Structure formats: C-alpha cells, structure tokens
Structure 1
Amino acid sequence: MTQAELLPLDEWHKAQGARMVPFAGYMMPVQYEGIIAEHLWTREHAGLFDVSHMGQILLEGDNVDAALERLMPGDFAILMDGRLRYSMLLNEEGGIIDDLMVTRRGDHFYLVVNGATKAGDIENLKARLSDEIRLTHMTGQALLALQGPRAADVLAALAPEVADLSFMQGMHCRIAGVEAWVSRSGYTGEDGFEISMANEDAATIADALVADERVRPVGLGARDSLRLEAGLPLYGHDLDEEVTPVMAGLNFAIGKRRREEGGFAGDRRIMAELADGPAACRVGILVEGRQPVREGAEILDDEGNEVGRITSGGHSPSLGRPIAMGYVAAPLSQAGTHLKVEQRGKLFSAEVTPMPFVPHRYHRKQGK
C-alpha cells in the first residue's frame, strides 16, 4: 500500500487538533472540533479549509483557448482576464473525466482539478494537447479555501483589494506579506475565496486567517456536508466517465456558442441530450425519518422497480434531516415525485426535490 503524502500544513493541522485520515493519496484533516460544529460555523461565520491535495496546472502556448475548447464544453475564447469558469474534461463519448475550474490569467490558463484524479488528468491533457501547449503541474503551490458569510470581511482586512472581486473573478495580491493568487470561489455554496500560495508560505497565511476570531479551521467531513447541501456534485461519486454534463444537470457549463457549433469531445451525444433530454438525471432527494441513506442505495418506484441509485447522501446539519442526491430515470426526475430508497434491506420514503437544498450565497455584483 502506497504511503499517503503529507500536506505542506500537516504539522499546522495537528497543532490545531485535527484528526488526520488518508484521502486522495494525502493525509488530510477530517475534523477538528466536530463535523456538525464546523459545518454550522462555516454557514454562520468563516471556515478555513486546506485543499492543497487538489491539482494546480498552468497551460501556455499559442491558441491555448481553442485547444481547451476541443476537450471541454466551455467558451474560453471570450473568457476575460482574471475570470473563472467551471468546466469538465470530457472523453470522446461525452463522459466526464473530471470537473474543474478554468481561469484565464493573461497569456495562460490556470486550472484547478480534483486531487484524486489529477495524475490521470495531467496524462490525459498531455496526450490530447499538441506539443505547442506547455503544461506545468504547480507542485510547489498550496491551496486554501476561506468560506462563509464573514470570509470577505476577514480577507479584506488583510488584502483590501479582494473586496472588489465578484463571484468567479480572481487576482494577484499580497496577504500577510505573502504573494498569493485569490479567486472568489469555492465549493460550499457560501461566499468565499480560494487562495493559492507557495508551500512555504501556507502557514503564514493560515496563521493570519485563524488569528481572526471569526475564522476556524474546518475539515473534510464538513466540506462534504456543505457541498451536499449546496447540491454540488463530487467527482468519483456523483460524476464519472459514464455520466454526461446533461445527465448531471450541469448544462450551465456548456457555452451558448458551443451548444450551437459543437466542436468539443462528445459533442454529438451531448447536443442530442440537450435537444431530447437524457435517459437519466441527477436529482436532489429528501428522505423521511432520521437515518441518512448512503451512496449505492437503490432508488425504487412505487411498484418496487429499481429506477436509480444514490450517489451522495448524509445528514444535513442546516436542515436537521437526511438529504441525498442520485440518478433516476428521466420520467421520475420531476420535483415532488415520490420514491423509495432501499438500504440494507430497509425501505425509506423519499421525494425528489429541487437543488440546492440550502440556497447559494455567492457574491455577485450587478453588471459583473
């Protein structure tokens, strides 16, 4: 068994009282004081997450935007400097190899990919991009996420210029004397920021942030429950190479021009699904009772026929009830549809519900 790598902040997490577990090849903090407490603190104040296991990649070269458009359904040709887009690396059948963030930074693009898939993503990109495109895996960079309704006030106290960022915008700045790239983004449904800095500077920034009483460190456990409440899919669970963007309900990530022109991997299948609908859809599910249902549980119709499976499920600290997401046959994907979920021989009553379960609170400025 391969030994898990240590994050640049490994000792810092231990000093903060973290319980460390292996995840995506790294030893990661799963919790500090407790998942529910950390979850609710993030929803009410500001939580600091270490997401340095994720892959940070630079792509440079002539016509790099067009090269990316052959692999992903985003419209990168019109993406302005300092702007981010959520997108997906697709296989030739339209299946999702990974979901990721793409940012134009001057003459190059900056990608943040999932930690568990970054090695495969890099191999895939190198194999499918021309030799004129230079790929740099930024192994010397750490990544922190500051999330929650007080995140902007906290970070602006250290770097006032970040207050001018709108959702899905980024900029270079200095935090506590340290050079960093900051984007107004994250994966909790809250306002917040992701901060990239050199590995050796991570503790300086982390210390400066938790010195503010509004900030507490938060682990993987709460990160998962927060993203589930926000209706955000997790790669390897809710997304994989058998799932298309349309099945996953991620149509917003397919640019208008791209829908009309195609020209990206799997475009024929995806455009057909946009026109006619997919066979199955990702849906939100409210589960009756107190017991959460977990990934892999079968979803049944009223006659007991299997019509789908749960891909993520758990307790919602904000709502005080079990919630889940999964894939069901398209005719059963309408909100209000009553279903059953079978887990370990027990049946649970469930109902399809719109997502997110908890409203997003992203910071958008008018005209941005």
Structure 2
Amino acid sequence: MAWLERLVRKALADVEPYRPGKPISDVQRELGLREIVRLCSNENPWPIPEAVSTAIQSAAKEVNRYPDPGAYYLKRALARKWGVSPSEIIVGAGTEGVVYALFQAIIDEGDHVVHCMPTYPLHILAAKAAGATCVAVPLTDSFTPTADMIIAACSERTKVVIMCNPNNPTGTIMSRSELLSLAAHLEGMQTLLVVDEAYAEYVIDPRYVSGVELFRQLGNIVILRTFSKIYGLAALRIGYGIAPKPVVESFSKVKRFFEVNKIAQHAAVAALEQTAYIEEIRDRTLIEREKMLSVLSDLGVKVYPTHTNFLLLRVEDADLVAEDLLREGIIVRPGSDMGMQGFLRVSIGLPEENERFAASLRKVMKRAGRR
C-alpha cells in the first residue's frame, strides 16, 4: 500500500494539521468531569439576542430545501452596513472557509504568501494547501507587526500578504499609519493585502483603522470578518470578506456552492441589526478583561496588552499548567499550539467562568510552587 502514501502532495509533507480548542465533550468524557469552563477559542460566552434565535428557528423549518448559494440577502445587508457593493462581498463557512477558497482562487503553485509569526495557523495551512511558499515575518519584542519588516520579506514572487489585525494569538494591532504605509507599498508591488479582522469589534484604540475604511479608500485589499466572535454564531460557521471585484469573480469559481447553510444566512442577517447587543457585549467583555488583568497581576502573572476578547499570558511550564488546569475543568489554549512556547492564551468568559479560572490558576501555581 506504499503507493497510496505517494499520492499525498509533497508540499503537505511537513504540514501539521490545525489543532482547534478542545471540545467540552472531550474533556467530560476523558476526565469524567461534569462542569467545564471553556476559555480556549475566543468565543462570545453570552446568549445571543432573541431576534437572532427567532431567525434561527424560522430558518430551521426549511432545512429540507437548499440554501441560497449566492447569499443574496446577507450580501445586501453587509453591503448596506459597510457602504460597499454586494458585488464586493464574498461569503464562506467561517474565516477559514473564505481563506481556503480565496487562496485557491488567486494562488499559483510557487507563489509566495508573507505572514507574521505567530499568527492564526489556518492562514498558513490555507496558503500551503493552495501550493504557496510561506514566508514568515517575526513580530517585534512587543508582539507588534511593522510595515517595514513585512515589506522587507516581500519579493517579486510575493502575491499575497496576509495578517490579522488585531493579531491572534497576541492581541496586538498594527496602527493606522503603519497599515496605510504597508497598503501603499504593496499597491506599488502589485501584491494583494489580506487583513483578517475577526476581533475588530472589540477594538477601542483610536490608533486602529478598520480595513473596511481602508478598502473604501483604496479598493485594492481584501478584508475578512466573521460572525463567530462577538456576534456569537461560532457553531453556525459563517464569515465574509470585502474584496475587489476581480477577486470576487475568481472566488466565485472555486467556492463550495452550498457552503453557507440557510440557518447561518438568516441568523447573520438578523445579527447585523443588533447594534445595541454588539456594544453591550464589547462593554461587558472589556469590563471582565480589566478584572482578569487585575487578578492575574496580583498572581504575578505576566499579561500582555490586548485589543481583543482574549489574554496572552507568559507562564513557566505553560504546557504543564494547561494540563493541570484541564484537570480542574478549565480549558485554555497552550501557546505551543500556535508556535509560542511558554505562553497561554485565555479567552474572556462569563464573570463566574473568569473567577473559576483565576481560582484554579492560583491553585495550580501554588501546588507547583510557581508562587
């Protein structure tokens, strides 16, 4: 059967599969625990609005019918929200669904994709799956990307620069001036800039510029957004992008035809109308984030500045701490999953979940003599 192994593409030989956050059911089954706190996937832990629940229930009555492959009403709603044309909207099954199809649409074998490191691992996997050569750009000591470092990594073979802003897993942002400088330089190189803004709704820093604003100014970049974070629709798998029309046309040739289901489309349309809910969730998250920062500071844990709904912690023996927390029923994300040994990424949960995490971390650190 050795010939079957030779069927695998050589470009994927050294690619490690993506490791998602551990599901609650796995922990319950493996450790026999009943109450689990999941702080590993940066989800919105609060209930979704009643109007969105109603939209889901209504759409569920029609699951015997195929969904609209063009997501007509969702694209119109997104276009109204952002002041762009529906023909500049792409929709997919979460950010990863959009990225995989996007790279399949524009990458030729051997093209270079430049990305920061560390970053969201699925960007790298999607690029390699499309046949690209990935070029990593290290972040600064403060975990921020710089336009100069990214530009220096580009060459005549660079077709795409992709970055998270805010960055995952560091929570840092590229400032308005840096992003404008980068976009202008890449335009001169005829290199496409793709900005993943999964956490943009949490940012309140005035130095931050939304890529959507940048798109309206320049029109030559791709902006990625998701309903999986602040909108609370992670299980429905729906994300979108705003892109130049030639990119949209190429994307439409390779995207999975019925990828975004009817329930997800209806829920997303309803969610876009819940502006008060989004503001409430952001405010609640920021309040809980400040509480967490205070508690972790009292514990002597190094926490890095963040513009998101998660924290990056430097912890001695981080992988062991993550395992010990798991035995306490607390799921966090080891930095080693994302190329950051010695770190933990911890989502902001409900108030009672955050309190339980802090108490469990205090217990784990005391037991191990780390304090």
- TM-score when normalising by structure 2: 0.31
- Structure with greater strand share of residues: 1
- TM-score when normalising by structure 1: 0.31
- Structure with greater helix share of residues: 2
